[in-house]
Structure 1
Amino acid sequence: MSKIHTFFDENGYYLAKGVFSADEIHSLENEFDRMVRQLEKPNEDDPNHNGIISTRNVQQYSSLWLTALLHNGFLDIAEQFIGPDIVLNHSTLFEKRKTTADTPFKMHQDWSYLPTQQNTMIAGMIHVSEATEETGCLRVYPGSHKQGRLESSKAVDPEFHEKFPFEGATSIEAEPGDVTFFDYFIVHGSKSNHSEQPRKVIIARMFSGKDRKEDIYQFSENLVLRGWNYHTNAATARKAVVKPE
């Protein structure tokens, strides 16, 4: 077991430094900004606006971002955590802008949103801009993934937030080109951005090709980034899977 795998296994996350070069991240940031311009703009004059601009599946906007998801350095690290068969569930763009509103990303686990049979789902958070405490960086409870599936662990469950307050979490500050990988059992969240600089990330949700979603009709790109998907068939390969009557 590598040092990277050992750290991830013990802590539930791993910050990989400099996965993407400065030139690569510069081009990717240009494409990121282009996607944001294409999205409908929120009403930022609304005092209740949370400062978040987001969309799923950046690979449906930009071929350059599809290339980023296939980046060997990115997948080489992901492979250490889930093996050589890597399937994309979906990707998500988040631009977090300055706001006085409360964060929508209170402490939570990801498993309840997209459970898989073998619990191999991880996230790879590609940092397109600097992530600091002031900009609302990721915060985690190291080792909390070992508790497995905790009940009522979504971002909207107040009792869970009392058990896992922000104050007890570890901040993961990062630079452009870094990638934070984390297990879908780890307790994590992030505060609002209180700086003038937006925080920009792309998150890829990936699972092993030997695993499968518990609900095969739940949204999933099922895009094979590396290796093989052992559970794809004629029904699940359809873009929109229709439940049988």
Structure 2
Amino acid sequence: MHTIVLATQKGGSGKSTLAIGLALAAKQAGFTVRLIETDPQGTLSNWARRRNNDDVVVEPIYHAADFEPRLKMLATSGLQLAIVDTAAGLSAATTAAIRHSDLCLIPARPSVADIEATVSTLSVARAWKRSYSFVLNQTPIRGQRIDNAANVLAEEAALDLADVLARPLIVMRNDHQDSLASGLAVSEFAPNGKSTEEVRGLWQWVETRLNISATNVLIDQVISAAAGMLHVAAERASDETTILAS
């Protein structure tokens, strides 16, 4: 199982809408997905209640101590992907989520306040040696401010821009908020829209970054399950041999 965490100190950066968009894009790509909510504000839970079906499960985990054992249980159950939405600011739950992530996505709007707010999240990801990338979110369609923000993020991470900035950038459009209000992902609300194209592109970028595909993950799970069955069979055969010998 792979775990993706969306975290940043600044509120209103679009973590929840990105989490939902990525979850549905991954599901449509063939992955089994669980959305995990560590934010007591309950944006994901409220969104799930507005849906007309229960095809995407939102699971609240508000206590840091519960995070690791629950992830292990989900992995054992065969889940392929967990996407975690965190609260604004840094908390024990957010730190636990980042600690156990395969990739920490740090959303930031192209503003000074948002970029400054990424520092603490970046520090936690680095302290636990977790992979991370920035997502420039709610950007204008074009403009120098985007380039400036991207360059500052790269300088902040002390890495080349291509190594730390997810692609594509996510443009500010009403589709994201309208879909959230309707209990939908943007790919369901406007399947042929530009916003959907960008979110699907972002998921493809994540797939490439993590070097995963739904087919390969499923094959790995089948191999692991088969190995487990063989191990149990070998233990039983050994026990029977011991009984016969005695």
TM-score by length of 1: 0.23
Higher strand share: 1
> Which has the higher relative contact order, 1 or 2, with Cα contacts under 8 A spaced 6 or more apart?
1
Higher helix share: 2
The structure with the largest alpha-carbon Rg is 2
